């Protein structure tokens, strides 16, 4: 096999991925998934288990109306049942009813499963494979045979496992897919067995279907490609049963950037991160910030020496350019930061900070490390960091002065919810404002009271929404007296920013983060 031969990506997210805990696709979401992966240039998209439920069959009807450019839709099913004629098996008929050009059927290649799961003979198992593949081929379908538990079966009895593949190929299967269904095989074992299969069946497409139970789903898929496999099955973002399937968002760039193997449409690799985020959004999942290539922190640098190295030459601490997969470099600020980190982040704030002096950088760094020692963190608090810089440079002018705030939490009756009320007294240019806000919790009440007080002076403050609120106890051994860190994420529809507050009093910590969120908004509007 030549090094530049195409590897076909087979996406199983809508079937295998949807079997993961917490993953559910709506009917429209499944179609949106197909459109997005067709844009990416994935070769095959498995639409679901034909006949298993009405939702999947409706999908096959709906997807026929889509005008796809790159992807072929595959209906998934199994061999006929033991003791049943193939033409009478309702699940085989469902594969035909799906009306897809391609079908994938799984069959047993491990004697243990033949005896204890199917409870039939090895001869009948082979006939089930032959009958189903042959029947589908007679009906004009192109067939992939998914050899379930193949690597376990091969380890148990290589000749039996290979004989089941041979049965499928002789019946007309255009490709055989070697499945590490239990996810326990090691990469060198995958490579050796895949090489043996490729040698046994020259000219037959060989695929791999790896699960991640040992954390090796990606490594096993890459090992199979090294051995000659030209199809890789997996799921976007690594969704799947138990610990998930091989993660296509890691496999695709590894194949393209490190092995020189084309597997998606030209020019689409730069859209990989956006596609990953899009799929997470479809199923209401928080993106994995540490995911290889596409995670938010995949190209983040925190240590001062690392930052200096990356600024000199990105290759010193980055294995691929972040933009090659649609990602960006981040310089993270923390107690590990050096002057290079601070200078890089300060310059990112815009033209007003281009000429910051060495002494000013030192002052910012001193202030940053002091705050970090008190429990503040600025990795997810870009708004608070910019305010810290403004104050360290003595450029900050407060937009209002707080005179006092008070929060009351009231519970009336055991079956009634708590009600919070916040009172705020502040001054804007010497003019006093005194407002009250109510909410289901103290932070919501404070937020409402503060915005009510400021809207008359700064109307744009009404656009700000609190989109996330996180609390972390910093000293658990101190129990209820522990220091609390509050991180708030805010948005005005155009921008999103994070702010942080720290205090032994959770209300005060929340106030600090809330205050920074409002001040950042007002400062940004003023600079505009």
**In contact, 451 and 461? CB cutoff 8 Å:** yes
Sign, Cα dihedral of 107, 61, 59, 234: positive
DSSP type of residue 457: T
- Beta bridge mates, 412: none
Q: pLDDT tens across 58-73, in order?
A: 999 999 999 999 999 9
Distance CA 236, CA 378 (A): 31
Residue pair 211/217 in contact (Cβ under 8 Å)? The answer is yes
The pLDDT tens digits for 416-448 are 888 899 999 999 999 999 999 998 889 999 999
Q: How far apart are CA 170 and CA 144, in angstroms?
A: 13
**Are residues 114 and 107 in contact, defined by beta-carbon separation less than 8 angstroms?**
no
Two tokens at 258? 């490190």
Sheet of 484-491: strands edge to edge?
Answer: 465-473, 484-491, 496-503
- What pLDDT is attached to residue 315? 79
137-158: average pLDDT = 96
Distance CA 82, CA 118 (A): 7
Contacts of 115 (CB under 8 A, 6+ apart): none
Are residues 376 and 343 in contact, defined by beta-carbon separation less than 8 angstroms? no
Which residues, at least 6 apart from 223, have a Cβ–Cβ distance to it below 8 Å? 187, 188, 190, 191, 194
In sequence order, what are the residues at sequence separation of 6 or more whose Cβ sits closer than 8 angstroms to the Cβ of residue 315?
Answer: none
Distance from C-alpha of 236 to C-alpha of 251, rounded to nearest angstrom: 10
Query: Average of pLDDT values for 326-330?
Result: 80
Question: Residues 231, 208: contact at Cβ < 8 Å?
Answer: yes
484-524 pLDDT, tens digit each: 889 898 898 888 888 999 999 999 999 999 999 999 999 88
On whether the CB atoms of residues 425 and 454 are closer than 8 A, the answer is no
**Domains plus CATH for the chain?**
8-265 (3.20.20.70), 403-457 (3.30.160)
- Please tell me whether residue 1 adopts helix, strand or coil conformation: coil
Helix (H, G, I), strand (E, B) or coil at 121: coil
Nearest residue to 41 (alpha-carbon basis) of 76, 80, 7, 17: 7
List, as own/partner pairs, every contact residues 110-118 make where C-beta atoms lie below 8 angstroms and the sequence separation is at least 24, other chains included: 110/148, 110/149, 110/150, 110/152, 110/153, 110/156, 110/161, 111/153, 111/156, 111/157, 111/160, 112/149, 112/152, 112/153, 112/156, 113/148, 113/149, 113/153, 118/82
Check: CB of residue 514 under 8 Å from CB of residue 488. yes
- DSSP state string for 186-219: -HHHHHHHHHHHHHHSTTSEEEEEEB-TTS-HHH
Q: Are 187 and 223 in contact (CB under 8 A)?
A: yes
pLDDT at 259 over 90: yes
d(CA 343, CA 366): 13
**Percent of the chain clearing pLDDT 70 (strictly above):** 91
pLDDT digits (tens, 9 = 90+) for 297-311: 887 776 667 766 776
Question: What average pLDDT does range 335-360 have in this prediction?
Answer: 65
Does residue 2 have a pLDDT over 50? no
- Does the pTM surpass 0.75? The reply is no
Instruction: Quick: pLDDT tens for 214-251.
Output: 999 999 999 999 999 999 999 999 999 999 999 999 99
- Phi first, then psi, for residue 72 (nearest 5°) are -105, 135
Note whether 48 and 14 are within 8 A (CB): yes
pLDDT in tens, 42-97: 999 999 899 888 888 999 999 999 999 999 999 999 999 998 999 999 999 999 99
157 and 188 Cβ atoms separated by less than 8 Å: no
Tokens of 513: 């983060």
Q: Residue 103's pLDDT is what?
A: 97
Instruction: For the chain, give the mean pLDDT.
Output: 89
Residue 76: both structure tokens together: 């998934």
Question: Taken in order 97, 100, 101, 102, is the CA torsion positive or negative?
Answer: negative
* Res 358 pLDDT > 80: no
- What average pLDDT score do residues 452-470 get? 90
Residue 331 has a pLDDT of 66
**Which residue's entry shows tokens 């009895």?**
157
With CA atoms as reference, report the closest residue to 71 among 25, 14, 23. Answer: 14
SS3 181: coil
Q: Is the pLDDT of residue 212 over 60?
A: yes
Q: What is the DSSP letter of 406?
A: E
Say how far apart CA 88 and CA 73 lie, in whole Å: 24
267: Cβ–Cβ under 8 A, 6 or more apart, which residues? none
Q: What is the pLDDT of residue 396?
A: 83
Beta strands 142-148; 72-78: pairing state? unpaired
Q: Is 179 helix (H, G, I), strand (E, B) or coil?
A: strand
- Look at residue 137 and tell me whether its pLDDT is greater than 60: yes
Confidence of residue 1 (pLDDT cuts 50, 70, 90): very low
């Amino acid at each position: 096999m030549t090094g530049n031969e195409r590897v076909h990506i087979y996406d199983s997210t809508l079937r295998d991925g949807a079997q993961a805990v917490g993953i559910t696709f709506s009917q429209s979401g499944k179609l949106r998934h197909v459109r997005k992966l067709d844009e990416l240039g994935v070769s095959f998209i498995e639409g679901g288990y034909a006949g298993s439920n009405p939702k999947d069959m409706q999908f096959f009807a709906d997807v026929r109306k889509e005008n796809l450019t790159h992807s072929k839709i595959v209906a998934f099913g199994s061999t006929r049942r033991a003791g049943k004629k193939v033409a009478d098996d309702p699940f085989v008929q469902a594969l035909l009813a799906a009306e897809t050009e391609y079908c994938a059927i799984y069959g047993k290649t491990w004697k243990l499963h033949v005896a204890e799961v199917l409870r039939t003979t090895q001869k009948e198992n082979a006939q089930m494979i032959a009958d189903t593949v042959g029947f589908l081929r007679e009906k004009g379908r192109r067939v992939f045979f998914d050899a379930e538990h193949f690597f376990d079966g091969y380890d148990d009895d290589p000749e039996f496992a290979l004989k089941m593949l041979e049965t499928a190929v002789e019946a007309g299967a255009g490709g055989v897919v070697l499945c590490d269904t239990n996810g326990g095989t090691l990469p060198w074992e995958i490579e050796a067995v895949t090489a043996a299969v490729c040698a046994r069946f020259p000219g037959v497409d060989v695929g791999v279907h790896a699960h991640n139970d040992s954390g090796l789903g990606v490594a096993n898929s890459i090992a199979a490609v090294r051995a000659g496999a030209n199809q890789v099955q997996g799921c976007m973002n690594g969704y799947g049963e138990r610990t998930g399937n091989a993660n296509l968002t890691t496999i695709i760039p590894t194949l393209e950037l490190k092995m020189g193997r084309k597997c998606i449409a030209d020019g689409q690799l730069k859209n990989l991160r956006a596609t990953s985020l899009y799929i997470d959004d479809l199923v209401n999942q928080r993106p994995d910030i540490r995911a290889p290539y596409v995670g938010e922190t995949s190209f983040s640098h925190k240590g001062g020496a690392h930052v200096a190295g990356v600024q000199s030459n990105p290759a010193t601490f980055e294995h691929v350019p972040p933009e090659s997969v649609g990602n960006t470099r981040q310089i993270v600020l923390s107690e590990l930061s050096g002057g290079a980190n601070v200078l890089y982040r300060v310059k990112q704030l815009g033209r007003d900070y281009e000429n910051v002096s060495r002494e000013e950088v030192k002052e910012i760094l001193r202030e940053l490390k002091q705050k970090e020692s008190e429990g503040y963190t600025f990795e997810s608090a870009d708004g608070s960091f910019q305010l810290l810089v403004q104050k360290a440079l003595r450029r900050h002018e407060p937009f209002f002065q707080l005179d006092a705030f008070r929060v009351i939490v009231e519970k009336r009756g055991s079956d009634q919810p708590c009600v919070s009320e916040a009172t705020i007294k502040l001054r804007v240019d010497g003019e006093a404002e005194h407002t009250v806000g109510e909410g289901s919790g103290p932070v919501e009440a404070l937020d409402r009271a503060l915005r009510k007080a400021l809207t008359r002076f700064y109307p744009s403050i009404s656009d700000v929404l609190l989109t996330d609120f996180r609390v972390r106890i910093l000293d658990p051994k101190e129990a209820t007296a522990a220091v609390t860190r509050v991180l708030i994420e805010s948005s005005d529809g155009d921008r999103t920013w994070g702010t942080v507050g720290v205090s032994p009093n959770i209300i005060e910590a929340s106030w600090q983060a809330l205050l920074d969120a409002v001040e950042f908004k007002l400062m940004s509007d003023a600079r505009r």
